[in-house]
A and B are shown apart, each in its own frame.
Chain A
Amino acid sequence: MRLRVRYTKNGKIRFTSHRDVARLWERSLRRAHVPMAYSEGFSPRPKLAFGLALSTGYESDAEYIDLALSETIPLDGLVERLTEMLPDGLVATAVAEIDRGTSLQQAITCCRWEIDIITDDLQAASTAVAQAKEAEEIMFTRTRKGKPVTDDLRPYVWALDVLGPTETGCRLAAELGTQPRALRPAELLAALDPAYEAFLVRRTHQWITNDDGDRSEPLLAAPASAVPTPVGAT
C-alpha cells in the first residue's frame, strides 16, 4: 500500500533541515505503528519519498511525503494519530492512498511562496516587483554545486505581487517554477535587490500543472480550523 500525506511545518521547528524532517517522520511513523516497508540490503531503510526540499528556516502549509507500507491499513483517524506522534510544529493535514506513479519531485511544476522581506521602503519594493514582472529576462548568477551558473530567471517567475505591509517590511507572493530546476525564494530576492533579507518565508502551495494548463494540488488539506497552532508559530 502506498500513502501520500500532506503536512505543515510551522513555528520553531522550521529551523530543522530536510534531513532532520525525514528522520522525524521515520520515528513518528514507528510511534504511530504505521507498518513501513523497508529497502533490501545491508542496511535496510524505510521507503519514504519527499517532495521538493524545503530550505532550513522556511515554514510551509503544503509539504508532502509518500510512504510505502508493508501491509494495508485503514486510513480512519490516521491524520490525527500522525499529528499526535509528530513533534510540535509538524501537523498532518490530509492522507490518501496513491498509485505507484511519478515521484512528487518530478510531478510538481510550481510552488507558491509568501516572502516577508525586511525593508522600510515599501515603494522601492513595489517598483522592484513591477520591474521584474515587466522584464523580458532576469539574468542572474547563482551557485550550483559550488560553481557559478548564470541563467535567466524570468521563465521561472510565474507570478509575483506585493501582498501588503508587515511589521518589518512587506509580504510578497510569488509563484516560482520548479522544472527543470526550482527557483528558490532567496535567489528571487537577491535578483530583486541584493540587499533584501527575508524575515520569514512560507510555502503555501505546491502545484501540479497538466498539459492544458489546469493545475491541482497533490492532496487537498483539511480545513485550517482543525489544525492546532504550533509552539512559536509566527
Chain B
Amino acid sequence: MWPALEPILPKVEKPARYIGCEGGAQQPVHGDGRVAWLLTYPDTYEIGLPNQGLQILYEILNERDDAVAERAYAPWTDLEAQLRAHDLPLFSVDNHFPASMFDLLAFNLSAELTYTNLLNLVDLAGVPVRCADRTAEHPFVVIGGHCTYNPEPLADFVDLVVLGDGEEVIGEITEVIHAWKASGGPTSGAVDSREGVLRQLSRVEGVYVPSLYEAEFDGEHLRSITPRFSDVPERVEKRTVADLADWPYPKNQLTPLTEVVHDRLNVEVFRGCTRGCRFCQAGMITRPVRERPAEQVRTMIQKGLERTGYDEVALTSLSTADFSGIKDVVTETMDDPANRDQVSVSLPSLRVDAFGVDIAAELNRGRRSGLTFAPEAGTWRMRQVINKLIREEDLYEAVEGAYSQGWRRVKLYFLTGLPTETDEDTLGIANLGRNCVEIGKKYHKSASVTVSVGGFVPKPFTPFQWFGQNTVAELQRKIYLLRDDVKRSHGVQMKWHDPKATLIEGICSRGDRRLGPVIEDVWRAGGVFQEWSEHFDQDKWTDAMARHGLSPDWYAHRHRTEDEVLPWDHLSAGLHKDFLWQDWRDALAEVGLEDCRWTPCYDCGACTGYGIEHIVASATPPAGGSQGTGQDLTTGGEVPVVLGSKPVGAGT
C-alpha cells in the first residue's frame, strides 16, 4: 500500500508515525501457510509503539516458522479521513500491507476508553464489526491485556479473548489456525467452518470465545453465562508464565524514528505484585511475583543500550523498588564505563517505603528524570482501607531523600472516591502535599510538589469489585474541595482527571453484554479517541445508554452484594472469590494485609491454582521492611485516626 499512502502522508500531522522503519522492525515474508498476525494498539502510535506486550509477541511470533507478525496503530483523525476518502484500509507499518491480508487482528486493550477505537479499527480494516456478520475468510478479532478480565461489553465484537501472559498461548493459537488454514478452512465455504475453529480455540487454556457462551438475565440482573456447547469449558483460566528467565523479550526493543511516550530502553525486572493494594487490578491479576534473574537484567540493559543508543533505561514492573537486586543493578549500570556517565536509570512505579536516600543518590548520578511517588491516599486510615500500608514517615523520608539529592519537584499520585473516604481523608492529600513542600524547602527555595488526583474506578478481580463508585458530582465536589484547600499552599500544584471520563470507565469496567450496542452507537456517532480530552464526549455515552434503556447509575454507582453474579464470574485470574470477599470485609474493617511474598500464604489462589510459586531472589524485603513486613505499624499516621461515622461504602 506504500505507493497509495505516500502522496497522502504530506497532508497529515506527524507522518513519521505511519512509516515504520524503527530500529528492530521486521519485514516478515508472508505465505507458505504462515499464520499472519496484525498486532494492533487501539490508540496513537506515540502511545502504542512502546507497549512492551505487543513488542514481546511481535518477536516471539516472528521467530516461529509458522507465523508472521506486523504492527498497526490507530491513525489519527486526519489520516483516517484521508484513508476513508481514498477507500484505503487500516495498514501495517512494517510492510504497509492492508489489514485484511492478516489472519488475526490482535489488539492490546489496557483502557476502557479505547473500546470505540477497537470498533473503528476493525471497520477501517474492512471487517464487519460484529462477530455474527463475519465469515470464514475474515480475520479473527483477538484481544489481550488487562481489560480482558471483563470482556463482556465487547462480547459482540471480539472473536477471541486471551487472559493473562501471552508468551505461550500465542503459539498455541497459531498452531490451531495453522492447521485450519492447511485444511482449507478459510476457503472451504462451509458455513460452520469459522465456528468449528473457534470451538477448537476455546479449548486452548487462556482463550475465551464470547460467542460460544450464552448470557442469561433475570430482570436487570445477570443470572449466568454458560457455554452453548458441551466441549466448551465452563470456566476460562488465565495463563501465567512460570519463570520470566525463559522469556528474555523484547530482545530487540523497537527504537522509533519519531518521538513516543516512554522513549527509552525498558527492561522488565519482574512481573506480578503481591503488595495487595486493594484498588489495584494489575496487582491482583498478575500474581504471583516472578523476578527476572539479576544477571539477565544486567545483560538486557547492557545489550539494549549498546544496540539502541538510548541514554535512559527504565526498570519496569509494578513496583520496581521491590526488586531484590535493585540497588546492585542500578549501581552497576551507573558504573559501567561503556555508558560514559551519560546514561540515566529511571524507576517508574516507586514505592516510598522502599525508596531510600541510597537509591536516590545512585539515580542522581545520571541525568535526573522526574520522580513520582504514589501514596494513593491522604490518611493512614484510608491507606489501611486500601491496603497501601505506607507510613507517613516513610513518605517523608523518601521525599527528603529526593530533595536532598537535588530534585526540586516530586510528583505524588492519589486516588479519590475510595471506599469509606471522608472529607478528612480527601483533605489529608493536601496536608501531605504541604508537608512535602516544607521538607523540600530545607534544600531548595523553589521546592514544589505536584499532586495528581484520579477518580477511583472499581475493577474486576479486586476486593473493591463490589463497591459502587462515587458519582461525577461527588468526585467533582471532592476535587474542588481539595483544589480550594491547595490554592493557598505555595509550592503545591494540583492536577486531576476528568470525573466524567471516570464514570464512563466505571460503566465499561464492570459492564455486561448489554453495553455492546451502546459502544457501537458511540462509535457510529463518531466517538473515537475517547481517552483524549479533546475528543471525549460523555453525552454520546449517556444518550446511547438511555436509548438502550440502561442506567449509568446501575452500572457504576451501585454496590454489589456477595451473592450477585458478576459478568466475569466465568473467567478466572486464579483468585478465589471468597478471598476477595474476605479482603473486601477486611478493607471495611480497616485491616491491612502483609505482602505474601515475604510472609505466609493467604491462599488467594493465584499460585496454588496453577501449581506455580513466587520467584524472588531475596527472602527479606528491600530497605529492611515494608508493607507491614518487619515494621511497627501502630504509629502509621502522625495524625490521630478518626473513624468515619458514615455507613460503610456510602461513598458520599
Contact = CB atoms under 8 A, between A and B. Distances in A.
B23 to A, nearest CB: 6
Interface in A199-234: 199, 231-232, 234
Interface stretch (A83-91, A105-113, A147-155): A83-91
A173 to B, nearest CB: 20
A81 B310 CA distance: 18
A15 B309 contact: no
B7 A199 contact: yes
Nearest to A21: B257
A89 to B, nearest CB: 7
A56 B7 contact: no
Contacts of B2: 12, 232
A15 B16 contact: yes
Nearest to A16: B16
B21 A57 contact: no
A30 B309 contact: yes
B117 interface: no
A181 interface: no
Contact of A27 (B14, B15, B310, B368): B310
A105 B6 CA distance: 30
A23 B259 contact: yes
Nearest to A44: B367
Nearest to B307: A31
Contacts of B15: 15, 56-57
A229 B77 CA distance: 33
B342 interface: yes
Of A16, A85, A89, chain B has the most CB atoms within 10 Å of the CB of: A16
B16 A88 contact: no
B395 to A, nearest CB: 25
A65 to B, nearest CB: 15
Given A15-B9, A38-B342, A20 B258 contact: yes
Of B6, B7, B255, B367, chain A has the most CB atoms within 10 Å of the CB of: B6
Given A23-B259, A57-B10, A87 B16 contact: no
Contact of B257 (A13, A31, A35, A43): A13
A89 B21 contact: yes
A141 interface: no
Contacts of A16: 16, 19, 257-258
A28 interface: yes
Contact of A12 (B21, B307, B309, B367): B21
Interface in A25-67: 26-31, 35, 38, 42-44, 56-57
B366 to A, nearest CB: 10
A122 interface: no
Given A35-B340, A199-B7, A28 B16 contact: no
B195 interface: no
Chain A: number of interface residues, binned into ranges: 20 to 34
Contacts of B18: 15
Contacts of B20: 12
B309 A27 contact: yes
A116 to B, nearest CB: 11
Nearest to A118: B7
Interface in B202-228: none
Contacts of A23: 259
Given A20-B258, A35-B340, A57-B9, A85 B309 contact: yes
Nearest to A234: B6
A17 B19 contact: no
B419 to A, nearest CB: 42
A145 interface: no
B200 interface: no
B82 interface: no
A120 to B, nearest CB: 15
Nearest to B2: A232
B483 to A, nearest CB: 30
A224 B587 CA distance: 71
Contact of B21 (A26, A56, A88, A198): A88
Contact of B19 (A12, A27, A38): A12
A203 B332 CA distance: 46
A30 B259 CA distance: 18
Contacts of B474: none
Of B15, B16, B19, B257, chain A has the most CB atoms within 10 Å of the CB of: B257
A30 B19 CA distance: 24
B309 A17 contact: no
Contacts of B342: 30, 38, 44
Interface string B1-39: 010001101100011101111010000000000000000
Contacts of B309: 26-31, 85
B308 interface: yes
Contacts of B10: 57, 198
Contact of A43 (B307, B340, B367): B367
A198 B10 CA distance: 9
20 contacts: A13-B19, A13-B21, A15-B19, A16-B258, A17-B14, A20-B16, A20-B259, A27-B255, A27-B308, A27-B309, A28-B309, A30-B311, A31-B307, A44-B367, A57-B10, A87-B21, A87-B257, A231-B21, A232-B19, A232-B21
Smallest CB-CB A-B distances: 10 pairs: A27-B309, A31-B309, A15-B15, A30-B309, A12-B19, A16-B16, A57-B10, A20-B258, A15-B16, A16-B257
Interface of B: 2, 6-7, 9-10, 14-16, 18-21, 23, 255, 257-259, 306-311, 340, 342, 367-368
